[in-house]
Amino acid sequence: MHLRRFSFLLAPACVAWIGCAGGEPGNSPELNEGPSSGTVIPGASGDGTWMGEALMAGCETDGGTPTGDTVLVTSSTHYHTAVGVVVRPNDLSARQPEILVPNGATFTRLTGSAAPDGGWRFTGVPSGAYYLKTSSTGATYIVTDERQVELGSNLLGRADAGSTSYYDTPAQVNLSGLSPWQPYRSVTQPGSSLQVVSGQVNLAASLMLESPVTTGQTSLVTSEARLSAVSGYALPVLDGDVGDRLYVNQLGEMDAGTLPDGGVLAYSAVVRGVQMSAFDFTPNGTTPMPITGVMQPVPMSEFTMEWRLPEYTARASEVHPQATAGTPTFSVVPAVHGLTNGWIGYSGELLNLRLPSGSSSTLSRRLKYGNPFPTTWGVVGTVRYSFRVMATPPGGGTTQYLLQGGIGTYERLDNLIAGPVLPRVTPPRGLSIDGIAATVAREVGSTSPVIAWLPPAVGSPSAYWVTLYRFPAGRTTASVQAQFYVPGSVTQVRLPPGTLAPASLHYLKVTAVDAPDYNVERDPFISSERIPNSQADALSSLFTTP
């Protein structure tokens, strides 16, 4: 679940078509010869240079790079529970990885085979960086020079928990002892809400009430309700025999004073909760899940923070020259079973403060929240300022397309608020496609264009994420076409042939990720959830392909 970490990044690599940080795009060393066998994928024509520069000048091989021509790719799922972490290996044969080795103006594709001791093994891989494609049918690439790469992921809950395909279920609600109910009025007057979380299985959900609740009401008895997953995963099976339980939390509206224009400012925070007894339940789309109990007050905590919003809005033009400031959000969230391995999964909020779009005044406030969870669970603070661009395609037209980015951080709450809250990393600069500013809407005719950028003005990126989006014909909502996980020492990447869809509308997002404990080359997914983690996006304009 990386999307949620803004949806939540070390070792250097130098490679053909990949530049080294610290200079203008294009300063890179001589090309590797590449392996002597494999399938050559034709790319754009070229002579081993880009914009007149040798593609690998100035980069030397990392002294820690393993020797030999073998690469082992493994994958395992790490299940996090109250009693520890259970690791289960994954079978890669159903989604066989591939390696693409830069080779002049082309890539050489290598296909591996199942390793006797698990994983997927490649031979004939030359020293230096290569692109590891994580699925033969997908479009996620890891740019790395490591000889062993782990593609696993973290999950909350028991490894043997049953799964379903349902993301919501009807609910039968019988709750008493609520804090007097408050209706939703606006972003800054959020009212009351209910969330459901488990510490035994991977379940976090909002309880959606289909009929209005009377203001001041302190009990709920209704079958007009649905439980909707917010974790990014389908609802699991609950097994009472092994102790699967649910926390039911009520978030209430809390006063935070006034806005600069005199308007009311409030936020939502947990004020009451109950932990239900263990029970059996299998979501099937029709049987209602029982949500019952007597809500009780929960322990409250207070803190102060100074949120320097002008430091975010001042960076809007670095996201994109036409970007406008969106919604700033500050949240406090639980980290189930602690923070030893990072902020794993998503289990709702303890506090959520949203400000009006475009807010640009420093906010200093004392806030409080309730925490019904065990003291072994951690507490994370998250902050994000979103930005948006309403873009038109090359050549104009009346249809506008929404492009979105942001700047944010997640960190232990105490560390986040120890000083002023402000950007720890800013967007990559100078984003270009084949040497032309990516903020120019145009047609890109190359089959294998070079995406390049400069390091951000603030922060020390551990990694970059390069995400290619495509708008399907007739739609104004984009889908991910491809994603590249790139070391922080690298400031350009060439798209393999076939990455861009023909006759299509695209845009790019390049994310700078400043996360000291993130090893994008060796462990790109599991280690991405370690904290602290700060991210900032730069957006291209729309571009088309022939």
In this structure, what token pair is assigned to residue 391?
A: 């873009």
Q: Which residue has the higher pLDDT, 9 or 101?
A: 101
Backbone dihedral angles phi then psi of residue 101, each to the nearest 5 degrees: -105, 125
8 Å CB contact between 370 and 272: yes
Residue 2: predicted pLDDT: 38
144 Rama class: left (phi>0) / alpha (psi -120 to 50) / beta: beta
How many residues are present in the chain? 546
CA pair distance 288, 182, nearest whole angstrom: 25
* pLDDT(195) > 50: yes
* pLDDT(104) > 80: no
CA pair distance 390, 392, nearest whole angstrom: 7
8 Å CB contact between 432 and 25: yes
8 Å CB contact between 413 and 374: no
Per-position DSSP letters for 445-475, written without gaps between them: --SSPEEEEE--SSS--SEEEEEEEEE-TT-
CA pair distance 287, 211, nearest whole angstrom: 19
β-strand 442-443 against 543-544: which pairing, if any? parallel
Which of 45-49, 232-236, 266-270, 325-329 is predicted with the least confidence, judged by mean pLDDT?
Answer: 45-49
Residue 196: predicted pLDDT: 98
Helix (H, G, I), strand (E, B) or coil at 334: strand
Measured from the Cβ of residue 412, the count of other Cβ atoms closer than 10 Å reads 17
User: Average pLDDT, stretch 214-224?
Assistant: 98
pLDDT band at 65 (very low <50, low <70, confident <90, very high): very low
Q: Which residues of 351-389 are buried (b: 16+ CB within 10 A; e: fewer)?
A: bbbbbeeebbeebeeebebbbbbeeebbbbbbbbbbbbb
Look up tokens 């309730």; give the residue. Answer: 370
pLDDT band at 24 (very low <50, low <70, confident <90, very high): very low
Look up tokens 């889908």; give the residue. Answer: 479
- Amino acid found at 241: D
* pLDDT(335) > 60: yes
Residue 49 class from Cβ within 10 Å (0-12 exposed, 13-18 middle, 19+ buried)?
Answer: middle
User: Average pLDDT, stretch 30-46?
Assistant: 36
Per-position DSSP letters for 395-456, written without gaps between them: T--S--EEEEEEEEEEEEHHHHTSS-B--SS---EEEEETTEETTS-EE---SSPEEEEE--
Its pTM stands at: 0.87
Q: Domain segments of the chain: what residues?
A: 168-298
Contacts of 375 (CB under 8 A, 6+ apart): none
In this structure, what token pair is assigned to residue 207?
A: 């309880």
**Which of 25-34, 135-144, 303-312 has maximum average pLDDT?**
303-312
Q: How far is CA 294 from CA 176, 195, 287, in A?
A: 5, 15, 23
8 Å CB contact between 513 and 464: yes
CA pair distance 257, 253, nearest whole angstrom: 12
* pLDDT(31) > 50: no
User: Average pLDDT, stretch 363-373?
Assistant: 98
Single out the residue of 470, 471, 456, 473 nearest to residue 512, CA to CA: 456
* pLDDT(225) > 90: yes
Single out the residue of 466, 400, 345 nearest to residue 19, CA to CA: 466
Residue 480: predicted pLDDT: 95
Single out the residue of 96, 42, 106, 100 nearest to residue 73, CA to CA: 96
* pLDDT(422) > 80: yes
Look up tokens 């970007």; give the residue. Answer: 323
8 Å CB contact between 187 and 327: yes
Backbone dihedral angles phi then psi of residue 242, each to the nearest 5 degrees: -105, 5
β-strand 148-150 against 71-74: which pairing, if any? parallel
CA pair distance 97, 463, nearest whole angstrom: 21
Residue 105: predicted pLDDT: 74
pLDDT band at 138 (very low <50, low <70, confident <90, very high): low
pLDDT band at 94 (very low <50, low <70, confident <90, very high): confident
In the beta sheet, which residues pair with residue 207? 227
* pLDDT(14) > 60: no
Dump pLDDT digits (tens) for 454-494: 999 999 999 999 999 999 998 998 999 999 999 999 999 99
CA pair distance 541, 444, nearest whole angstrom: 12
Residue 117: predicted pLDDT: 81
